Amino acid sequence: MVSDGAFDETVAPRYDDDCADMFTPEVLEPTVALLAELAGGRPALEFAVGTGRVALPLADAGIEVHGIELSRAMVAEMRAKPGGDAIPVTIGDMATTRIGGEFGLVYLVFNTITNLLTQNEQVDCFRNAAAHLVPGGCFVIETGVPRIQDLPRGERFLAFDAGDEHGGIDEYDVVGQRLVSHHYRTGDCAGRFSSEHRWAWPAEYDLMARIAGLRLRDRWADWHRSPFTDTSRTHISVWHSTNA
């Protein structure tokens, strides 16, 4: 049986609560609006569809959405929501799992590209996205920009949140391009959760895209299409298929 990975039955039931800030209209409305525009009325495929945070409102916007997801526990959470049974989901690794059909949009949000822990796996993910796209279709990722410049010289740990109920610390391996995000919660969701990631600069993702036959179309700092600058914390990158 395929493992659920880091987002298993102990994590999935509290995922929406832990990530509540990402479910607000202020976050989701511009996300869905831009993805719907890029889909252009064609079917869309979400890699790591999770609990349906983006897939469900995108489907409500009139886009036919399919998903690939490693974690059965996360999909079970989506199935329990209104409209969750209507999203076709294939269980598998987003880097290698192929499904039938062709898509005008493949997308991967909320830093999930970094859950693939080797460069080869990330390249395979780009290739898999390209294999699902119609000519001119788009592959979109949303991910953070590595905060290496914020690390004091010789240090490995960097705090990214210090709220009343949540504290977060990233532990960087600068040479290996890895980090472990440590999350500490109090209150009803008290506990500790750590997840490992492989970070990359936007230029490396552009090279992965080129290897996969994709070319950069746009890059913004957020879903509102703010310009991407040297102080941006995140990037929304859009590559398009050049296959005839």
Secondary structure E strands in the chain: 44-47, 65-69, 89-91, 103-108, 133-144, 157-162, 166-173, 178-185, 191-198, 214-220, 234-241
Model confidence pLDDT, tens digit, residues 177-223: 999 988 777 777 677 777 899 999 999 999 999 999 999 999 999 99
Model confidence pLDDT, tens digit, residues 89-119: 999 999 999 999 999 999 999 999 999 999 9
Residue 1: predicted pLDDT: 46
Residue 162: predicted pLDDT: 77
Q: Under a CB-based contact definition with an 8 Å cutoff, are residues 45 and 22 in contact?
A: no
In the chain, where the domains are located: 12-145+200-241, 149-191
Model confidence pLDDT, tens digit, residues 10-63: 777 887 787 778 889 999 999 999 999 999 999 999 999 999 999 999 999 999
Q: What is the CATH number of domain 12-145+200-241?
A: 3.40.50.150
In the predicted model, what is the mean pLDDT of the chain? 92
Task: Report the predicted TM-score, pTM, of the whole model to 2 decimal places.
Answer: 0.92
